[in-house]
Structure 1
Amino acid sequence: MSIIRFDDVWKVYTNNVKAINGMSVQFEKGEFVYIVGPSGAGKSTFIRLMYREEKATKGEIIVNNVKLSGMKEKEIPALRRKIGVIFQDFKLLPSLTVYENVAFALEVIEENPSKIKQRVMEVLDLVKIKSKAKFLPSELSGGEQQRVAIARAVVNRPDVLIADEPTGNLDPDTAWSIMDILENVNGLGTTVIMATHNKEIVNTLKRRVIAIEGGRIVRDEARGNYGYEV
């Protein structure tokens, strides 16, 4: 059964730029999928539609059996608790420690304080940064900050983890360590959808590859390769 489904989805901006052109695709629970394509192809718009950062102009997006087209603004936070998102630039809160950044995601949903502590330490251990729980983001390397961002994204035990260029600002060794973590998260049952320009990662860790050009899916292969020059 699909966990995310696009049915003839269009996204047209006010200047008549068609970012997504009649896209239909589905993702199954537990999949690991790469989203690839040239810059400006529509990858980021495609991803933002999944967690209602953008709203489709036409067509239907269904996430966990919920139709996003009819979703009210007040219902969006509940959707996003089921979808973890990580970005190329981390988006950590600079004045909060590692522990506090991750705990914040649970505090906003008023989770029990004792459960917060237990869960935060579990995910910090998962991403191998437990020893730096009291550090501020400015005291961490880029790779360490990305580990914290992943911990924050999965602390709610989301059904889906969306990663938008998660290794884009990292050196090759650090990028591979982040991929190890994403593979571990996927191994625990979370669907992982990752937009990337990293040809080496895609071609080495063979997973489903969806290629987007001009807002359309031009290739969808179960164990594909990157297929573009970088």
Structure 2
Amino acid sequence: MIEMKDVWKTYPNGVMAVNGISVYIKKGEFVYVVGPSGAGKSTFVKMMYREERPTRGEISINGSNLAEMKEKKVPYLRRNMGIVFQDFKLLPSMTVFENVAFAMEVIEASKANIRKRVMNVLDIVRLKNKARFMPHELSGGEQQRVSIARAIVNSPAVLIADEPTGNLDIETSWEIMHILEEINERGTTVVMATHNREIVNNMRKRVIAIEGGRISRDEIRGRYGYES
């Protein structure tokens, strides 16, 4: 599913963010990526959806080599991925329905399919009754649920979440995590970068810890392993 082989990433200013990482994530896994600030977590995650390109090494998702992929093919790669950000990245001038539908319009889905699928995923994230609301009319947790709906509307094989609970209170964070767990149980591979110690320690999924640009731990039912 997702494989990195001896991956390095050095930025133009000389900072080495990733230092010879090799890892394999199987289809259907739920993986937490943890580590101190500045350890290389964000770069690790961003390389999975080609926001960042490795300096050297191989990254493959479903057999496609991201390191060698031409820029014009990157949008097609992301059509089979869902990406959830800490700051939601919703379009403020569009309704909840339109924000989610936009991801299907990009791939030229039919209006009938868009209507049916969007309402289906809004039901999954428990926002079907707010389809016509604007983003500013929603709470932070509701906005994050909209971003999750947008990320899964095209039934991606992989969902990548970069600190999806970082701006949320603990109760709302758990709501988001239960939704991500449900999505994972439907067969989607989930990779989530997080600093949330309580969630990692309670949900006990695979944990990949990154320190100094290297994998320091890789545990099947891991713990967060750092102080709050």
Per-residue deviation, 1:15:
1.4
Q: For residue 87 of structure 1, what is the amino acid of its counterpart?
A: F
- The reply on whether 1:121 has 2:109 as its aligned counterpart is no
Partner residue in 2 for 1:147: 145
Per-residue deviation, 1:67:
0.7
CA distance in 2, matches of 1:192, 1:68: 18
Kindly provide the CA deviation profile for residues 177-212 of structure 1, in whole angstroms up to 9, marking residues without a partner as x.
000100000000000001111100000001000000
Kindly provide the CA deviation profile for residues 199-226 of structure 1, in whole angstroms up to 9, marking residues without a partner as x.
0000000100000001100000000100
Q: For residue 40 of structure 1, what is the amino acid of its counterpart?
A: G
Partner residue in 2 for 1:209: 207
Structural mapping, 1:35-46, within 5 Å: 35-46=33-44
Per-residue deviation, 1:52:
0.5
CA distance in 1, matches of 2:216, 2:153: 34
Secondary structure of residue in 2 paired with 1:40? coil
Per-residue deviation, 1:83:
1.1
Long gaps (5+) in structure 1: none
Per-residue deviation, 1:228:
0.3
Partner residue in 1 for 2:157: 159
Partner residue in 2 for 1:90: 88
- The reply on whether 1:132 has 2:122 as its aligned counterpart is no
Partner residue in 1 for 2:26: 28
CA distance in 1, matches of 2:185, 2:178: 10
- Give the number of aligned pairs: 228
TM-score of the aligned structures, taking structure 1 as reference length: 0.98
Q: Of residues 215, 224, 227 in structure 2, which corresponds to 1:226? A: 224
Q: For residue 116 of structure 2, what is the amino acid of its counterpart?
A: Q
Kindly provide the CA deviation profile for residues 34-64 of structure 1, in whole angstroms up to 9, marking residues without a partner as x.
0000111110000000010111100000011
CA distance in 1, matches of 2:195, 2:185: 23
Secondary structure of residue in 1 paired with 2:88? coil
Per-residue deviation, 1:70:
1.8
CA distance in 1, matches of 2:212, 2:164: 22
Partner residue in 2 for 1:78: 76
Per-residue deviation, 1:68:
1.1
Q: For residue 142 of structure 2, what is the amino acid of its counterpart?
A: E
Q: For residue 214 of structure 1, what is the amino acid of its counterpart?
A: G
Kindly provide the CA deviation profile for residues 84-124 of structure 1, in whole angstroms up to 9, marking residues without a partner as x.
00011000000000000000000011111100110000100
Partner residue in 2 for 1:65: 63
Secondary structure of residue in 2 paired with 1:227? coil
Secondary structure of residue in 1 paired with 2:209? strand
Per-residue deviation, 1:16:
1.3
CA distance in 1, matches of 2:66, 2:162: 20
Kindly provide the CA deviation profile for residues 66-89 of structure 1, in whole angstroms up to 9, marking residues without a partner as x.
011221111001100111000110
Q: For residue 162 of structure 2, what is the amino acid of its counterpart?
A: D
CA distance in 1, matches of 2:169, 2:66: 37
Q: For residue 34 of structure 2, what is the amino acid of its counterpart?
A: V
Long gaps (5+) in structure 2: none
Identity of paired residues, percent?
Answer: 67
Q: Of residues 10, 21, 32 in structure 2, which corresponds to 1:12? A: 10
The alignment yields a C-alpha RMSD, in angstroms, of: 0.5
Secondary structure of residue in 1 paired with 2:60? strand
Partner residue in 1 for 2:179: 181
TM-score of the aligned structures, taking structure 2 as reference length: 0.99
